[in-house]
Chains A and B, each alone.
Chain A
Amino acid sequence: MLEYVWLIPFFPLVGVIINGLFGKKIRNEAFIGGLATAMVASSFVVSCGILIQLIGMEPEQRVFQKVLFTWIQAGTFKADIGFLVDPLSAIMIMVVTGVGSLIHLYSIGYMHGEEGFYRYFTYLNLFTFSMLLLVLGGNMLLMFVGWEGVGLCSYLLIGYYFHKKSAGDAGKKAFVMNRVGDFGFLIGLFTIFWWLGTNHNVWTINFVELKQASELLPFGGVVTFATLCFFLGATGKSAQIPLYTWLPDAMEGPTPVSALIHAATMVTAGVYMIGRMNFVFIKSPTTMLVIACTGAATALFAATIGMAQNDIKRVLAYSTVSQLGYMFLAMGVGAFTAGVFHLMTHAFFKACLFLGSGSVIHAMHHALHHGHLHDDPQDMRNMGGLRKKMPITFVTFLVSTIAISGIPPFSGFFSKDEILWQAFSNPYHGTANVVLWAIGTIAACLTAFYMFRLVFMTFCGECRINPKVKDHLHESPLVITIPLMVLGLLATFGGFIGIPKLLGDLFGGIPNRFELWLEPVFEKSTEYAGQYAHAGTHYGHSVEGGLMLLSVGVAALGIGIAYTLYIASPSIPQRFTARFPGLHQAVYNKWYVDELYDFLFVNPCKALGRFLWKGFDVLVVDGIVNGVAAVVRGFSGVLRYTQSGFVHNYAMTMALGVVVILAFYIFR
């Protein structure tokens, strides 16, 4: 099966080609959607086969490379089109193709009747293809191909409703911000390539070879520079501070797109990339600290914004940014396994949440459409009480919300708790650990709060939709609810694959399978960790257990506050906003970060461009050019009077000349 790994990205590519070239002619929605879904499902089947084969192998042998052909070769530089299968990429292909197939299936129902149906599925397949390239790419450059490819698809899918200006703007913003990150990725790649080459004559960008060569890399120094550049790339792709602002705007795209791209797959690329190159990142304490701090800060910052949004998808968008922050926090504290684990559980529950919100929006849209109303179908202030109307959506949404809030035994608990524990106890950052842990814990409380606020506003209380259309609210069809149910199950039970040792021992020695599985991928990091200055303090089980209880406690607190404010006494939020209008406005307007960026970067760039064009190009350069021409013309304008073509003028000149010459000789 491993030999056929190329089939995994190949299938979606076939879908792209068929739907892209002939979709417009085919027109049959069932065929187009079915084909696209079948292609991703086929990749999923192959992925399963590969996973099973990998499980059957010895842990240290679970690395397989398949090179198709040499892509670019120039001098010492060589990049292959080649794939790398190891425990890490195996998990990722499972998530991408598994969750991806469900979202494709869901889209058939959700996008029914849309004008550009074929275009949508072409883009979706193209996205899956790029994401699989990113994940399976055996070298940095091929990963970069996928990296840019998903950025492109994101651009296309966000801007899917291209007649809306806001959608076009959002797509462009996403692409450009991603490009800022790509700039970092490229510089990082250059640095590593040339440093290893010129200093050690190791000319490679292949991940397996880099892992072996990582011994040669120094601790800090050039590695800090390179990894910070790579991390800039990660902040762009994974929507971290300072490059996160594109993600909330990206909600302009169709909802399943948000589930696929902005929850389950693309935005996790940055986390994956750090995991893939963990052996480089671990060699720079500075970068690790920067990553941890950025992650923690983003987790908290985005959570605060999420508390005040009324658009159901925007809440989820900020929630995604915040959860990605957790993953980076994990990466930054060297808890690579925990980070990847959260990546996986997050893919389950966040995909479920986005698709659930899509189901709600779908229902709202139809109901409002029926009544010819122009209310916003995404505004939670128009919702409420949907619990009874849409029971399946509600239940799946609820379990995913519990999961994201970190309540045991739902999946999010295991991954998030592991991150918080590692942030507290890791041997890398000394006293900063407590701060990182504290920020993570506060953010966990906020997460529980804003997520339950969302559930209460949407599904509980009275129905605030216009009474005229109330009866037109229905549960979505099976094609939509089946993916919800599958994802709901995964969100509920997915965490059992990585039970922490403490709990595992409690229940009779269940091993943390997830950690064991990924161990070979992160072995170098474990090895290099010894070089850190801080000797790790060893904490007892009681501390770990206590913190675990505490994190569950803060989650419960968050839920409690949400219950108080949105169910028990709904008047408090209004009084609060009335009391602190400035604070509410600031949070509601996302702390004015977009405005700040416009002020700092966008407007100056345009002004500079205009100045250079009108001021320099037209005035200075062309001024000189045309000036020279004008001077020449000026002189010749005077001189041409001597060439009038009239014989009497010439005779006159001649006569004058003779007079002057004679005068000269006579009077000298």
Chain B
Amino acid sequence: MTSLLTIMTFTPLVGVFVLLFINGRSHNALRGLALAVTVVAFLVSLPLVTGFQNTADYQFVENIPWIATDAFQMHYFVGIDGISLWLVMLTTFIMPIAILSTWTAVEEKVKEYMICLLLLEVGMLGAFVSLDLFLFYIFCGLMLIPMYFIIGIWGGKNKVYAAVKFFIYTMVGSLLMLVALITLYFKAGGADFNITRFYALTLDPATQTWLFLAFALAFAIKVPMFPLHTWLPDAHTEAPTAGSVILAAVLLKMGTYGFVRFAMPLFPQATAQFTPLIATLAVIGIIYAALVAMVQEDVKKLVAYSSVAHLGFVMLGVFAMNQQGIAGGMLQMLNHGISTGALFLIVGFIYERRHTRLITDFGGLAKQMPVFATIFMIVTLSSIGLPGTNGFVGEFLILLGSFGSSLRWWSVIATSGVILSAVYMLWMFQRVMFGELNNPRNQTLTDLNAREIGIMVPLIVLIFVMGVYPTPFIAKMTPSIDRLITHVQTRQLALNAVPAAVQTPDHADCRQCPQ
């Protein structure tokens, strides 16, 4: 099956066409079909894992010229490696869950809603499998539009503000990236947008700096990194549950993935130059977001800020530029998708029941909803990185890796974020779930129904599996991470060899820790 990636990526698009022919009023048929399509996409993606060889090569590659004029060459060039494999899987895995999550909550324009979700999936999958920079850009744009509608149409009170803010923020970054990638295209001789060819380029430091900044800004907005994060709490809070889940689980990863796939290997010199800055912003993000999360009054906003903190960890790990750090960062991307996705689902459950998200409106729910309490507790613990859950493995490797890199003191400060995450999550949990059940409106709450439990079970299973036996996940990433590190480091050294050594000795030392 050489065209597996194409089939997977465009299965949802086929679903969109079928949806067009279904009566807009038969809601359950629409939902069922959308669910079926996403499940099929997930099943189609499974052979990717089983067929994936543990090497650094791009696999399941397809490369067909698409727009091929004399002046402009771009290919439909897709493939996956250890870095994108799990993100693709995360996407196909989370989509059925997302569809199920707003099964009853969205009652208006169901058809359009499902179409948006499916288009979103096409965009996300396409972006992760693209090995042509222009193709990546197209898919990124494709993602943006359905998400804009999902927030703006099916969102909460302040949805229009949130949607516009989300769109413009992200668009500003994307446009900068567009300029940068066109520059890159001409620097490479204007043959095509193949990233492997771009990797091989040797750019002078000044060019690298500018192009890196353009890419980094685009991705930093998506991550989002402090101080470009303010669109996120609004977008998350206003989006319907499915939107929040997808936003957290997949869309934010586009930023961190962008750094690993593009910004870092394309501009190794600039990466070294900006590592301290990015690490500083990442660590500020961790502490800052934790402190702000602590005082939130709205559960969903609290979770949104916790996202910012988690993504700060990812950035720190990735920029540690060693096996532990990057593997930890990659794992944390998956973990965050699972745990934070699950947290948004949980917030969705209580919102659907009470139509409020204010912490003060709750209290004592554990008595009324014991199953919910258990699930919520497990997810909370995963989010604060308790050993035995997935969150721990990622966070630990990130901190271990960054401690062994040039970012030692950043790592120490980030480690203290572990304390703060326990504070804000447990405090929220306590105020929502524990205490007296004295609000009469909470006394009639019902526990989770079968659909809701069914949504959570796969996530809970993954939380434990990835916490106890993460080896298969890491093993598939390792060769690609090795290649990335070798690539970036040899480039850095090669460039350093010409001028006097720019890096401080201990900086270089840590980068060469034997693997």
Q: Which chain A residues have a beta carbon within 8 Å of chain B's beta carbons?
A: 24, 69-77, 141, 144-145, 148-149, 152, 155, 159, 162-165, 167-169, 171-172, 175-176, 179-180, 182-183, 186-187, 189-191, 193-194, 197-198, 201, 605-606, 608-610, 612-613, 616-617, 621-622, 625, 629
Contact = CB atoms under 8 A, between A and B. Distances in A.
B165 interface: yes
A183 B415 contact: yes
Nearest to A119: B370
B323 A74 contact: yes
Interface stretch (B120-128, B347-355, B386-394, B454-462): B386-394
B418 A612 contact: no
Interface string B394-432: 001101110110000001100110110011001100100
Among A24, A73, A164, A622, chain B packs the most CB atoms within 10 A around the CB of A73
Given A172-B427, A182-B418, A625-B165, A72 B470 contact: yes
B412 to A, nearest CB: 6
Nearest to A201: B514
A163 B478 contact: no
5 contacts: A71-B471, A149-B387, A162-B367, A186-B396, A186-B399
B404 A194 contact: yes
B426 A75 contact: no
Contacts of B293: 609
Given A74-B327, A197-B513, A159 B434 contact: yes
Contacts of B510: 198
Contacts of B404: 190, 193-194, 197-198
A621 B411 CA distance: 26
B205 interface: no
Contact of A162 (B322, B434, B513): B434
Contacts of A71: 468-471
A74 B230 contact: no
A149 B291 contact: no
Interface string B339-380: 000000000000000000000000010110010000000000
B474 interface: yes
B294 interface: yes
A73 B412 CA distance: 22
A337 to B, nearest CB: 30
B434 A198 contact: no
A149 B388 contact: yes
B113 interface: no
Contacts of A629: 168
B295 interface: yes
A162 B387 contact: no
B478 A74 contact: yes
Given A72-B397, A144-B387, A152-B381, A163 B367 contact: yes
Contact of A168 (B288, B295, B434): B434
A190 B400 contact: yes
A15 to B, nearest CB: 16
Contact of B323 (A75, A141, A163, A621): A75
B324 interface: yes
B292 A165 contact: no
B513 A198 contact: yes
Nearest to B291: A609
B509 interface: yes
Interface in B163-192: 165, 168-169
A218 to B, nearest CB: 18
Given A71-B468, A144-B387, A617-B230, 13 more contacts: A69-B471, A74-B323, A75-B515, A76-B324, A76-B513, A165-B435, A171-B430, A179-B419, A189-B400, A191-B403, A608-B291, A609-B292, A612-B288
B249 interface: no
Contacts of A194: 403-404
A175 B434 contact: no
Contacts of A176: 419, 422-423, 426
Nearest to A610: B295
A613 B292 contact: yes
A250 to B, nearest CB: 15
A77 B513 CA distance: 12
A6 to B, nearest CB: 14
Contacts of B435: 162-165, 168
B402 to A, nearest CB: 9
A162 B366 contact: yes
Contacts of B513: 75-76, 197-198
A632 to B, nearest CB: 10
B291 A612 contact: yes
Contacts of A189: 400
Contact of A190 (B296, B411, B474): B411
| Interface size class of chain B, counting residues whose CB lies under 8 Å from the partner chain | 35 or more
Contacts of B515: 75-76
A632 B168 CA distance: 13
Among A149, A164, A175, A190, chain B packs the most CB atoms within 10 A around the CB of A190
A155 B423 CA distance: 13
Interface of B: 165, 168-169, 227, 229-231, 233, 288, 291-296, 322-324, 327-328, 364, 366-367, 370, 381, 386-388, 392-393, 396-397, 399-401, 403-404, 411-412, 415-416, 418-419, 422-423, 426-427, 430, 433-437, 468-471, 474-475, 478, 509-510, 513-515
A180 B468 CA distance: 24
A70 B327 contact: no
Contacts of B437: 163
B416 A183 contact: yes
B433 A190 contact: no
B70 to A, nearest CB: 39
A228 to B, nearest CB: 13
B323 A187 contact: no
A162 B427 CA distance: 13
A159 B377 CA distance: 13
Contacts of B422: 175-176, 179
A162 B433 contact: yes
B378 to A, nearest CB: 11
Contacts of A613: 292, 295-296
Contacts of A145: 387-388
Contacts of B427: 172
Contacts of B471: 69-73
A375 B423 CA distance: 34
A159 B373 CA distance: 14
A216 B430 CA distance: 47
Contacts of B416: 183
A600 to B, nearest CB: 15
B327 A24 contact: no
A100 to B, nearest CB: 20
A175 B426 contact: yes
Contacts of B292: 609, 612-613, 617
A182 B423 CA distance: 14
B230 A152 contact: no
Contact of A609 (B295, B400, B412, B418): B295
Q: Can you list the 4 inter-chain pairs with the closest CB atoms, starting with the nearest?
A: A75-B323, A609-B291, A145-B387, A190-B403
Among A75, A167, A187, chain B packs the most CB atoms within 10 A around the CB of A75
A591 to B, nearest CB: 24
Contacts of B230: 617, 621-622, 625
B292 to A, nearest CB: 4
A24 B396 CA distance: 35
Contact of B418 (A76, A155, A183, A605): A183
B192 to A, nearest CB: 34
Contact of A606 (B294, B392, B399): B294
Given A162-B366, A609-B294, A186 B415 contact: yes
A612 B226 CA distance: 12
B23 to A, nearest CB: 39
B470 to A, nearest CB: 6
Contacts of A24: 370
A72 B393 contact: yes
A190 B388 CA distance: 19
A35 B454 CA distance: 29
Contacts of A193: 400, 404
